[in-house]
Amino acid sequence: MAVLAAFRSERFGAEGLETLRSAGTEIEPGALYPMLRRLESQRLLSSDRRLDDGRLKRFYTTTARGVEVLGALKTEQDLLARSLIQLMR
Amino acid sequence: MENRKKYLAKVMFWLPSRCKKDIYLALEADIDEHLAAEEDRVGHELTPQEEELALRAFGVPPVVATRYSMELPLISSGLMTVYRRVLFIALAGVILAQIVLIIPDFIDAEAGKHGRLIVETGRRATWGFLLAFTSVTLVFSALTRIYSQWGKIR
């Protein structure tokens, strides 16, 4: 869910890693990169490999399907949070 | 660069040979991107020590290998609780069956033949355990594959 949210705008792996870290989601690069490839194989992310500042980088973006899945996950998360808040009262 | 080669070799060691080539290419590209991002961050070419640290931050090789390998596990985590219960019931069933089988023989056996009976029961129980373990594991492994295919079809 965090990865789908972080890559809604086009980013390369290390950039996405920084975005996740700055939002408080710690993840090892060795976990993020294969996850990006897996999400791409599930068509939740799309990628484009090109030169940027003289270096070859793979840029990922969340697809329309990925945004849809992210929305469904967020609704589920909101429902869970709401029911927990109600239980805590 | 020597560290990079060593790291790649360490990850490759943990992968099955049939998917090594594809994963190697993906992993190599990702490591290069990771090292390049580190160079951009520190503002100079990485020293061997810095490169080693960056590779260590990438992840422990066996764990990284598992993450890159997209192979299905023998039994999915979703089925693991049920698998453990069924396995426990099957193994308990083997013990129960052996106890039921040994009691009449044990009562009727002549003096001095009890030891042989216990050994014989132990042998049968061991085979029973192996058979129960293998069959339950095979069934759950097949279920894991069926559910995975079903997930793909949906």
Q: Which domain holds residue B27?
A: 2-68
Q: Which domain holds residue A12?
A: 2-88
Last residue of a domain, one of B27, B44, B68: B68
- pTM beyond 0.90: no
Residue B46 and residue B6 share a domain: yes
Q: Where are the beta strands (DSSP E) in A1-89?
A: 11-12, 45-52, 55-62
Q: Mean pLDDT of all residues in chain A?
A: 89
DSSP character for A52? E
d(CA A21, CA B18): 35
Which CATH number does the domain housing residue A6 bear? 1.10.10.10
Tell me which of B22, B31, B66, B67 to substitute to probe the interface with A (most A C-beta atoms closer than 10 Å): B67
* Chains A, B: CB pairs < 8 Å: 52
pLDDT in tens, B3-24: 888 999 988 888 877 778 888 8
Residue B97 and residue B136 share a domain: yes
- Partner B contacted by A55 (CB < 8 A): yes
pLDDT in tens, B72-100: 777 887 788 899 999 999 999 999 999 89
Q: What percent of chain A has pLDDT above 90?
A: 43
Residue B99 and residue B46 share a domain: no
Residue B82 and residue B41 share a domain: no
Which member of A30, A53, A56 has the closest CB to residue B58? A30
Band of residue A86 on the pLDDT scale cut at 50, 70, 90:
very high
Give the three-state DSSP class for A48. strand
CA of B97 vs chain A CAs: smallest distance (Å): 46
CA of A14 vs chain B CAs: smallest distance (Å): 6
Q: Name residue A59's beta-bridge partners.
A: A12, A48
Domain count across chain A = 1
Residue B51 and residue B32 share a domain: yes
Note whether A58 contacts B33, CB cutoff 8 Å.
yes
Residue B129 and residue B82 share a domain: yes
Domain count across chain B = 2
> Closest residue of A to B7, CA-based?
A30
Residue B148 and residue B84 share a domain: yes
- Partner A contacted by B1 (CB < 8 A): no
ipTM: 0.78
